[in-house]
């Protein structure tokens, strides 16, 4: 049995693509590619038409555009059809004198263009259709003082919760397994998968934290902790409410076993302290004092200074995902903050700096094509943030890193 098939482990593709904040194609390049695609499709369409009008020496051809196809693309398609017919020796004549007639309509449905040829010949009328994909343009954002750089490391169909990558190994934390990839001459090859066992269904908006130290791996999931090693491959999972490491430094906190947030009870150096429940948090050395920031489950971000008894400032209108990064620019530390979006509206991430009790934008926002579901501070000096983006419609996940360079 072949043909229409669907598996949850669909094609996984790897590539390394350094984007900065320049996105895929410039408008002119995009237009050229769009028109080239139209030429290719038009040539194919002409061949399909020819297979149905064999024996006719001449044709009258008319075109009608009922779609959102731009004039340049229509022209490319028309020229390709004309060329294909002429190259096959067909003479193009007015309808009154031609042996047959073809009315071509460039139509579209909600997903793609639909080209329709109504072919009238002495043997009767018939219809021929061709589906042609729409090419979507990309957008180019502007720049500001600090520049955010995004590097896409990996894309796959299926969730990624967290990841670790160095030159030779890449480890992905997924809902039901840890996948270990090895760098094989620039290509990432799946080396092994380690199953994650859990007694209850995972909560919605599943989150997880992956820590890799040499060959040792630890994965934190809601109500579950897994420990093991990359070599020899082993993973042991158990019910656990051990606190998670929230950032790269000293901030640890307890995570709800059945929900998608930190309970607010802190651990480690801050054991005994608690803050309102939060989705993400960060701590960094401020000017002469320690600072914490938590994105609360009530939609407010709370800034604490020196101690965790009372927030020093509240920020509204932020998203729920943030992470701290050590850039060395300006005050040295910035917060990367997601926008207040949901699973459907595409996300943005912007660098902000805390000055006094105010949060000031420090970079332009990077647009994402989906929702940023995780940001975790990473790198030896907290100079990188690992992120996960979920594409609209849930199908595709992307692992990326963010870094900051100082502006001019």
Partner 1 sequence: MRRLRFRSLAVSSLALVAVAAQAGSRPRYGGVARIALQHKVMSLDPLADEEYPATRDRISSLLFETLAVLDSRGVARPRLASWWSADATKRRWQFRLRLANFQDGTALTASDVIASLSKANGAWKYSAADRETVTIESPVPVVHMPELLALEKFAILKRSQDGTLIGTGPYKLGEWQPGDHASLSANDDYWGGRAFPDAVEFQMNASLKEQFLARQLDPFAAAELSIDQLHMVEQSNQSVLLSQPSDLLVLVFLQPDSSSAARAGRRNLDPALRQALSLAVNRTAISNAILQRKARPASALLPQWLTGFEFLIPGGTDLERARQLRNSIAAQAMPPPITLAYDFSDPVAKSTAERIAVDAREAGITLQPYGESHVNTRGARASVNADVVLLRLPLASVEPTVALAQRAEVLGLFPESSAALAAARPEDLFEVERRMLADFRIIPVAHLSQAVWLSYAVHNWIQDAAGGWNLDQLWLEGAH
Binding site for partner 1 (CB under 8 A): 1-8, 66-67, 105, 107-111, 113-114, 116, 118, 126-129, 131, 200-206, 258-261, 277, 279, 295, 297-299, 316-321, 340-346, 392-395
> Residue 85: exposed, middle, or buried by beta-carbon count in 10 A (0-12, 13-18, 19+)?
buried
Q: How far apart are CA 122 and CA 116, in angstroms?
A: 20
| Nearest distance, CB of residue 127 and partner 1, angstroms | 4
- Alpha-carbon gap, residue 348 to 153, rounded angstroms: 18
Rounded Cα–Cα distance for residues 69 and 106 (Å) = 8
Q: Minimum distance from CB of 288 to partner 1 (Å)?
A: 32
Instruction: Write out the DSSP string of 14-54.
Output: EEEEEEET--S--HHHHHHHHHHHHHHHHHHHHHHHHTTST
Nearer residue to partner 1 within complex by CB, 202 or 304: 202
Instruction: Please return the burial class of 362, using the count of CB atoms within 10 Å of its CB with bins 0-12, 13-18 and 19+.
Output: buried
> At closest approach, how far in Å is the CB of 166 from partner 1?
29
Q: Quote the CA–CA distance of 162 and 173 in Å, as a whole number.
A: 5
Closest contact distance (angstroms) between CB of 299 and partner 1 is: 4
Least distance to partner 1 from the beta carbon of 321, Å?
A: 7
Cβ proximity to partner 1: between 181 and 244 the closer is 244
Q: How far is the CB of 300 from partner 1 (least distance, A)?
A: 8
Taking the complex as a whole, the smallest distance from the CB of residue 274 to partner 1 amounts, in Å, to 15
Closest to partner 1 by CB, 205 or 307: 205
Of 67 and 291, nearer to partner 1 (C-beta) is 67
Which CB sits closer to partner 1, 122 or 393?
A: 393
The rounded distance, in Å, linking the Cα atoms of 89 and 50 is: 10
Q: Give one DSSP letter per residue of 370-402, joined into a string.
A: SEEEEEEEESTTS-EEEEEEE-TTS-EEEEEEE
Nearer to partner 1, 33 or 129 (CB): 129
- Is the CB of 113 or the CB of 244 nearer to partner 1? 113
DSSP state of 363: B
| 22 vs 346 by CB, closer to partner 1 | 346
Dihedral of CA 21/22/23/26: which sign?
A: positive
d(CA 305, CA 311): 7
Neighbours of 47 (CB within 10 A): 14
The 3-state DSSP class for residue 305 equals strand
Which residues face 91 on adjacent strands? 58
Taking the complex as a whole, the smallest distance from the CB of residue 243 to partner 1 amounts, in Å, to 19
Minimum distance, C-beta of residue 12 to partner 1, in the bound complex (Å): 16
Which stretches of 56-128 are DSSP H helices? Answer: 71-87
Q: Of 4, 96, 112, 102, whose CA–CA distance to 48 is shortest? A: 102
What does each C-alpha distance from 63 to 74, 76, 89, 98, 247 come to in angstroms? 9, 12, 20, 16, 61
Q: Closer to partner 1 at the Cβ: 74 or 327?
A: 74
């Amino acid at each position: 049995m072949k043909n229409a098939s669907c598996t949850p482990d669909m094609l996984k593709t790897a590539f390394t693509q350094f984007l900065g904040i320049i996105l895929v194609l410039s408008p002119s390049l995009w237009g050229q590619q769009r028109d080239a695609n139209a030429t290719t499709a038009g040539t194919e369409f002409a061949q399909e038409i020819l297979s149905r009008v064999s024996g006719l020496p001449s044709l009258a051809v008319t075109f009608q555009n009922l779609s959102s196809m731009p004039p340049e693309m229509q022209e490319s398609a028309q020229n390709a059809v004309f060329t294909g017919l002429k190259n096959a020796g067909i003479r193009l004549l007015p309808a009154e004198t031609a042996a047959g007639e073809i009315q071509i309509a460039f139509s579209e449905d909600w997903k793609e263009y639909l080209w329709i040829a109504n072919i009238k010949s002495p043997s009767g009328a018939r219809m021929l259709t061709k589906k042609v994909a729409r090419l979507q343009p990309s957008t180019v954002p502007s720049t500001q003082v600090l520049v955010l750089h995004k590097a896409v490391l990996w894309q796959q169909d299926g969730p990624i919760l967290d990841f670790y990558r160095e030159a030779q190994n890449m480890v992905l934390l997924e809902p039901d397994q840890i996948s270990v990839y090895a760098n094989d001459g620039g290509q990432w090859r799946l080396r092994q998968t380690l199953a994650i066992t859990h007694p209850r269904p995972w909560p919605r908006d599943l989150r997880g934290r992956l820590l890799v130290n040499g060959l040792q791996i630890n994965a934190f999931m809601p109500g579950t902790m897994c420990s093991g090693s990359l070599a020899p491959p082993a993973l042991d999972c158990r019910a656990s409410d051990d606190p998670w490491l929230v950032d790269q430094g000293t901030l640890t906190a307890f995570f709800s076993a059945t929900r998608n947030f930190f309970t607010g009870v802190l651990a480690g150096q801050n054991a005994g302290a608690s803050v309102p429940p939060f989705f993400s948090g960060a701590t960094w050395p401020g000017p002469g004092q320690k600072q914490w920031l938590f994105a609360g489950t009530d939609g407010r971000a709370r800034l604490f200074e020196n101690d965790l008894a009372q927030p020093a400032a509240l920020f509204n209108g932020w998203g729920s995902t943030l992470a701290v990064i050590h850039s060395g620019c300006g005050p040295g530390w910035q917060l990367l903050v997601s926008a207040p979006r949901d699973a459907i509206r595409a996300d943005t991430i912007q660098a902000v700096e805390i000055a006094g009790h105010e949060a000031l934008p420090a970079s332009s926002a990077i647009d994402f094509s989906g929702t940023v579901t995780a940001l975790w501070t990473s790198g030896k000096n907290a100079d990188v943030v690992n992120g996960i983006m979920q594409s609209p419609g849930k199908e595709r996940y992307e692992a990326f890193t963010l870094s900051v360079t100082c502006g001019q």
